[in-house]
């Protein structure tokens, strides 16, 4: 997810664009750039790092242009470097493009363009588009048509702005999957990823839909479909304020990120899950696939929520791919002088890619000869750079300190890795297709769970005064229980413990009374009856039960005081769907207790110290 802005009008575009980029920086903040067009040509400034780095680079240069575009990056293809920052240009530096999204078939397009003589300077997917437009321009001679024709060859998601020195009186914009909104002004027009960058200049906006292309000039704008059909767009009025926009209308980034999960999970699967073949394709692991398949065991290390994802990964990798998996807290792994064999493969999971303990575990594993692989969200982060290979989870920026969408995307990626390895280790194509189609159905199932937020909020209100909570689950839902307990601890400051349900009898059952609510994750799977008997043990001691159960489970009402119903899914993927109500329960509990949800006390988004 990146931030995009464009301005065309009579005013000096640079200060307007930089202010807009500052508003959009929450969307992506690892590098930034601008392109300014005058009749003297194209001027591009781009810099890795925070927006302030770019502002310093531009400095006070007295440069003036009425037409400019700006981009704040959240890298997906190519590390956040000066060169990989946007805008990207064509061979002649006459066309500049900024892009938010992922071009899935960029490698195929790149090879063709290089064969046609184009010099492509970066590894990014976006630069390929600049050259493709250049190629189309040769035949059409007009920018609007060139962009449209180029996009007809593109597969993937995009929100793009294109400018050219040959037509210094327009901005071409196109959308497919990534948001774009035009700001309609007097003698000027703007366009951006969201209205937060426009609101100072106009409240009159036009939202582009997928498959639409727009041409903006200072005086007007026109819109067509990518297939060249005219469209008349309605101009709407912005009614909300800035803070609301950055949070997408949600009260907190955490709630916004919880509601982004249908999209973020899909982005983790996009272009990787091959439902028809019943397998997964992970380009980032291809260089090490042979080592991965020959590995006598897999070691996964991480911290916090990422460690819970690792544990969920162990359950599916061992049962589906039949490969031994060891899961370690990175902070323990680094000091316990672990026994590592040269043919061992280690996965290190981290949202930020900067967690000190996880980096130390990486270096320990490497020093002992293991192949070290990353499952990371932040592109170009230290962990991504130091590992031998890996997979980006593509969850987008996670601003809320309490990790939510990164957790579900980490498990989605572990599911892809499991499917890939399992298909090489005996899982049939038929079984693979069943699992793959179930995995592909998860974004929709998560959307369904989000619809029952009001019900979960009412339960949180009911329990907002308690001091302790117990979360219990079996199998793949033991890590779900751990994650639910961590979320509650982190943001509502209530003491909570997650436990394998059967372990309760070996101690925690002593805590059970009417003041100790117990959350059971109890889907209708092979160990359902076992969990039900644990529920009866709690009820016998007056424990108050909240059950996360399946929609078609009729018996559960008799056992639980509150039931939160979730769609059925393969139990390996259960931690993705079943953790959503636990994220919401923790969020609404924190809200009811007046806690600072996005900046909880004593915590940091990335723990870069020991």
CB nearer to ligand AGP: give 202 or 306: 306
Q: Is 306 in the site for ligand AGP (CB under 6 A)?
A: yes
Q: What is the Cα–Cα distance from 268 to 408, expressed in whole angstroms?
A: 9
What is the pairing mode between strands 212-216 and 221-225?
Answer: antiparallel
Q: How far is the CB of 151 from ligand AGP (least distance, A)?
A: 35
Catalytic status, residue 215: no
Q: Is 164 in the site for ligand AGP (CB under 6 A)?
A: no
x/- mask, ligand AGP, residues 355-374, rule CB under 6 A, reads x--x----------------
Q: How far is the CB of 359 from ligand AGP (least distance, A)?
A: 9
CB nearer to ligand AGP: give 26 or 307: 307
Cα torsion angle, 526, 532, 538, 540, sign? negative
Contacts of 403 (CB under 8 A, 6+ apart): 304, 305, 306, 351
Cα dist. 571→163, 430, 550 in Å? 49, 18, 11
**Which is the catalytic residue, given 11, 112, 524, 605?**
605
Task: Tell me the backbone φ, ψ of residue 158, rounded to 5 degrees.
Answer: -160, 150
Q: What is the CA radius of gyration of the chain?
A: 25
Is-contact 68 36, C-beta < 8 A?
A: yes
Q: Of these, 66, 81, 196, 305, which contacts ligand AGP (CB under 6 A)?
A: 305
Cβ-in-10-Å burial (0-12, 13-18, 19+) of 513 comes to: exposed
Three state DSSP letters for 538-584: HHCCCCCEEEEEECCCCHHHHCCCEEEEECCCCHHHHHHHHHHHHHH
Report the residue closest to ligand AGP, judged by CB.
Answer: 304
**Which is the catalytic residue, given 2, 89, 215, 303?**
2
Q: Of these, 183, 262, 304, 374, which contacts ligand AGP (CB under 6 A)?
A: 304
CB nearer to ligand AGP: give 43 or 387: 387
* Residues β-bridged to residue 204: 237
Q: How far is the CB of 398 from ligand AGP (least distance, A)?
A: 9
CB nearer to ligand AGP: give 358 or 492: 358
Q: Of these, 66, 331, 350, 571, which contacts ligand AGP (CB under 6 A)?
A: 350
Q: Is 569 in the site for ligand AGP (CB under 6 A)?
A: no
- Specify the length of the chain in residues: 610
Stretch of 141-149, 203-211, 255-263, 352-360 contacting ligand AGP, by CB under 6 A: 352-360
Q: Of these, 321, 389, 402, 546, which contacts ligand AGP (CB under 6 A)?
A: 402
Q: How far is the CB of 416 from ligand AGP (least distance, A)?
A: 18
Q: How far is the CB of 478 from ligand AGP (least distance, A)?
A: 17
Q: Is 72 in the site for ligand AGP (CB under 6 A)?
A: no
CB nearer to ligand AGP: give 183 or 304: 304
Q: Is 599 in the site for ligand AGP (CB under 6 A)?
A: no
Catalytic status, residue 2: yes
Q: How far is the CB of 354 from ligand AGP (least distance, A)?
A: 7
CB nearer to ligand AGP: give 402 or 545: 402
Count of residues in contact with ligand AGP, rule CB under 6 A: 15
Q: What is the Cα–Cα distance from 525 to 70, expressed in whole angstroms?
A: 51
Nearest-10 crossing angle of helices 13-24, 51-58 = 160
Q: Is 274 in the site for ligand AGP (CB under 6 A)?
A: no
Q: Which residue has the tokens 């272009």?
A: 271
- Any idea what the Cα angle at residue 208 is, between residues 205 and 210, rounded to 5°? 165
Residues 407-426 that bind ligand AGP (CB under 6 A): none
Peptide bond into 87 cis (omega under 30): yes
* Residues β-bridged to residue 274: 279
Stretch of 15-23, 67-75, 395-403, 515-523 contacting ligand AGP, by CB under 6 A: 395-403
Q: How far is the CB of 570 from ligand AGP (least distance, A)?
A: 25
Q: Which residue has the tokens 């092979």?
A: 526
Q: Is 303 in the site for ligand AGP (CB under 6 A)?
A: yes
Q: Is 607 in the site for ligand AGP (CB under 6 A)?
A: yes
Stretch of 145-153, 302-310, 474-482, 520-528 contacting ligand AGP, by CB under 6 A: 302-310
Q: What is the Cα–Cα distance from 97 to 120, expressed in whole angstroms?
A: 14
SS3 of residue 472 by DSSP: strand
Residues 464-503 that bind ligand AGP (CB under 6 A): 490
Q: How far is the CB of 558 from ligand AGP (least distance, A)?
A: 34
Q: How far is the CB of 352 from ligand AGP (least distance, A)?
A: 3
Strand ranges (E), 336-411: 345-350, 371-376, 389-392
What is the pairing mode between strands 204-207 and 181-184?
Answer: antiparallel
Cα dist. 428→158, 201, 210, 412, 518 in Å? 35, 58, 37, 20, 39
Q: Is 255 in the site for ligand AGP (CB under 6 A)?
A: no
Residues 17-36 that bind ligand AGP (CB under 6 A): none
Q: How far is the CB of 303 from ligand AGP (least distance, A)?
A: 4
Start-to-end CA span in the chain (Å): 30
SS3 of residue 338 by DSSP: coil
Q: Which residue has the tokens 């018996």?
A: 555
Q: Hey, which residues are catalytic here?
A: 2, 605
Q: Which residues bind ligand AGP (CB under 6 A)?
A: 303-306, 350-352, 355, 358, 401-403, 490, 606-607
């Amino acid at each position: 997810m990146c931030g995009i802005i464009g301005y065309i009008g009579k005013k000096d575009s640079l200060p307007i664009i930089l202010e807009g980029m500052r508003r959009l920086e929450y969307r992506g903040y690892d590098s930034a750039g601008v392109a300014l067009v005058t009749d003297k040509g194209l001027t591009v400034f781009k810099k890795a790092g925070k927006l302030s780095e770019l502002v310093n680079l531009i400095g006070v240069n007295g440069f003036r242009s009425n037409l400019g575009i700006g981009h704040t990056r959240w890298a997906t293809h190519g590390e956040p470097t000066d060169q990989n920052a946007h805008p990207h240009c064509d061979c002649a530096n006459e066309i500049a493009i900024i892009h938010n999204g992922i071009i899935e078939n960029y490698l195929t397009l790149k090879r063709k363009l290089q064969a046609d003589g184009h010099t492509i300077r970066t590894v990014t997917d976006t630069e390929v588009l600049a050259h493709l437009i250049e190629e189309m321009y040769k035949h059409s001679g007009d920018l609007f048509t060139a962009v449209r024709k180029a996009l007809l060859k593109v597969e993937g998601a995009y929100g793009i702005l294109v400018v050219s020195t040959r037509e210094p009186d327009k901005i071409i914009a196109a959308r497919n999957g990534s948001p774009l909104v035009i700001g309609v002004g007097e003698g000027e027009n703007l366009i951006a990823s969201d209205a937060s960058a426009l609101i100072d200049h106009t409240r009159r906006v036009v939202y582009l839909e997928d498959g639409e292309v727009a041409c903006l000039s200072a005086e007007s704008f026109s819109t067509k479909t990518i297939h060249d059909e005219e469209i008349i767009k309605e101009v709407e009025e912005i009614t909300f304020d800035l803070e609301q926009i950055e949070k997408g209308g949600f009260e907190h980034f955490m709630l916004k990120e919880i509601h982004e999960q249908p999209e973020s999970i899909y982005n983790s699967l996009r272009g990787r899950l091959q439902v028809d073949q019943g397998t997964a394709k992970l380009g980032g692991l291809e260089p090490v696939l042979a080592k991965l398949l020959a590995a006598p065991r897999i070691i996964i290390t991480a911290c916090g929520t990422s460690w819970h994802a690792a544990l969920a990964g162990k359950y599916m990798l061992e049962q589906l791919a039949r490969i031994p998996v060891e899961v370690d807290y990175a902070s323990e792994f680094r000091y316990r002088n672990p026994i590592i064999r040269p043919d061992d493969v280690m996965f290190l999971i981290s949202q930020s890619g900067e967690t000190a303990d996880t980096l130390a575990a990486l270096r320990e594993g490497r020093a002992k000869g293991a192949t070290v692989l990353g499952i990371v969200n932040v592109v170009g982060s230290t962990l991504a750079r130091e590992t031998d290979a890996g997979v980006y989870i593509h969850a987008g920026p996670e601003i809320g300190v309490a990790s939510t969408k990164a957790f579900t995307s980490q498990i989605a990626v572990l599911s892809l890795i499991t499917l890939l390895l399992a298909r090489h280790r005996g899982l049939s194509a038929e079984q693979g297709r069943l699992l793959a189609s179930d995995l592909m159905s998860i974004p929709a199932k998560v959307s369904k769970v989000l619809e029952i937020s009001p019900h979960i909020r009412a339960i949180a209100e009911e329990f907002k005064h308690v001091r302790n909570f117990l979360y219990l689950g079996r199998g793949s839902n033991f890590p779900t229980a751990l994650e639910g307990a961590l979320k509650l601890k982190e943001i509502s400051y209530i003491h909570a413990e997650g436990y394998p349900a059967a372990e309760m009898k070996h101690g925690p059952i002593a805590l059970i009374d009417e003041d100790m609510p117990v959350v059971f994750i109890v889907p209708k799977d092979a160990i359902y009856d076992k969990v039900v008997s644990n529920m009866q043990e709690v009820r016998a001691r007056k424990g108050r039960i909240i059950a996360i159960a399946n929609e078609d489970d009729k018996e559960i009402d008799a056992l639980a005081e509150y039931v939160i119903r979730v769609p059925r899914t393969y139990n390996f993927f259960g931690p993705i769907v079943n953790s959503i109500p636990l994220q919401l329960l923790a969020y609404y509990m924190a809200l009811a207790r007046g806690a600072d949800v996005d900046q909880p006390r004593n915590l940091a988004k990335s723990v870069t110290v020991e």
